């Protein structure tokens, strides 16, 4: 998972084309807010969506039922798993 960049500086610089800035400024004016607030709100909404998609696994109903079944009735350990368990250090 990528690590978030943590900085003490609350400022962020963006380089965009003049027509892009004009469009953002127009949209901000239509929302009756300043450019910083408009861009920040829009970017944060998108960031929340991206993080949500990256951190959540969505399963079909069939897959959910299969996982529940496997948790309740796990298959027997195969030879490799049994060997790995045997090789683990004993805890006191």
User: Any idea what the CATH number is for the domain that residue 34 is in?
Assistant: 1.20.5
Q: Per the domain annotation, does 4 fall within a domain?
A: no
pTM higher than 0.75: no
Domain membership of residue 7 (yes or no) is: no
Residue 73 lies in a domain: yes
List, for residues 25-43, the tens digit of each pLDDT value.
Answer: 999 999 999 999 999 999 9
Q: What is the pLDDT of residue 11?
A: 85
Give CA–CA dist 56/53, Å, rounded. Answer: 6
63 near 57, Cβ under 8 Å? no
How does DSSP assign 28-67, residue by residue? Answer: HHHTTS-HHHHHHHHHHHHHHHHHHHHH-----HHHHHHH
- The residue range of the domain holding 55 is 18-86
Position 2 pLDDT exceeds 70: no
- Rounded Cα distance, 25 and 31, in Å: 10
Average pLDDT along the chain: 92
Count how many domains the chain has.
Answer: 1
In a domain, 10, yes or no: no
Query: Whole-angstrom Cα distance, residue 21 to residue 43?
Result: 15
């Amino acid at each position: 998972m990528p690590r978030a960049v943590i900085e003490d500086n609350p400022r962020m610089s963006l380089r965009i084309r003049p027509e892009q800035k004009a469009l953002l400024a127009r949209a901000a004016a239509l929302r009756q807010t300043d450019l910083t607030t408009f861009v920040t709100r829009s970017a944060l909404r998108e960031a929340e969506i991206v993080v949500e998609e990256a951190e959540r696994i969505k399963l079909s109903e069939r897959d959910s039922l299969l996982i529940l079944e496997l948790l309740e009735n796990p298959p027997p350990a195969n030879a490799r798993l049994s060997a790995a368990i045997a090789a683990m250090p004993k805890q006191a």
